[in-house]
Amino acid sequence: MFLLLCHLFLCGKLWRFKFRYQNKEKVIAIGKYPEISLSSARKARILYREEVSAGLNPIEIIKASKQESLTDLNTLLLHQVATNYLNKRKELAESYIVKLKATFKNNVYPFIGDIPITDITPLEIIETIKRVEKRGAIE
C-alpha cells in the first residue's frame, strides 16, 4: 500500500493508490497531477488505507457512492436541472440567461418540465421541438 506517481506516455502523470484486497493487487486512480496536489493525494491515500485496514474495498465504496448520486439524479426534474445549469453559467451575459430561461419556460417546461430527467426519452424531446417549430419559433 503506497502512493504512486505514475508516469504514462498517453495519460500524463497520475496519482494512484496501490493496495491488496483479498490477496489481489488493486489500483485506484486518485487524480491527475497537478490538478490534484501532493497533500490532497496523501489525504486520499490515508483515507483509502483506513478503509483497507478495516477490511473494506475502496473501489466498491467509490462505486456505491457514484450509484447513490445517480439515484439522486433520478428524482431531479428537468426544470430543476436546467435552472441549476443556467444559474452556474457565469460566463454568459445576464440578459442572455434571462432570455434562455424565458424560452425554456414557454417552450419546454409545459411539456416535459415536470418529468424526472432520467425518464425523458428522445421521442419526447423531438415532440417538444416539433411543437416549437410548428409555432414558427425556430431559434
Domains of the chain: 2-73 (3.30.160.390), 78-135 (no CATH)
Phi, psi of 125 (to 5 degrees): -65, -45
pTM greater than 0.75:
no
pLDDT band at 7 (very low <50, low <70, confident <90, very high): very low
Q: What is the rounded distance in angstroms from the CA atom of residue 54 to the CA atom of residue 45?
A: 14
CA dist 103 to 5, 23, 115, Å?
A: 48, 57, 18
Q: What is the rounded distance in angstroms from the CA atom of residue 101 to the CA atom of residue 114?
A: 15
pLDDT tens by residue, 26-63: 999 999 988 899 999 999 999 999 999 999 999 999 88
pLDDT tens by residue, 64-83: 888 776 666 666 788 888 88
